[in-house]
Amino acid sequence: MAETSSGIVELVRGIVEPLVDDVDAVEVTSTFTNDGCELVEIRVAADDAGKVIGRQGRVIKSIRVLARAAACGNGNAVEVELVEG
């Protein structure tokens, strides 16, 4: 599972970093919930949060779709969240 985790984290980081102005503030972490679902959390600078969310949430929805598709090949479940703070 750790191999899949780092792959998903790197995928999400690769998508998010070109979108934001403050690349140094990007933090992507991964944990596993009790039910075995991988939770990927994205933290960015407050000014960049809107860029990651996109109009009507289209960008974050697309990131979620890509992460789920990448994990689906291994039969894993993934949730992607943008965390404020």
Instruction: Tell me the pLDDT tens digit for each residue of 44-82.
Output: 999 999 999 999 999 999 999 999 999 987 778 999 999
The predicted-structure confidence for 22-52, as pLDDT tens digits, reads as follows 999 999 999 999 988 999 999 999 999 999 9
Place of tokens 């598709």: 69
Distances (CA, A) of 16 to 13, 35, 51, 53, 75: 5, 27, 9, 10, 24
Domain 2-82 has CATH 2.60.40.10: no
Grouping H, G, I as helix, E, B as strand and the rest as coil, residue 41 is strand
- What's the confidence (pLDDT) of residue 85? 67
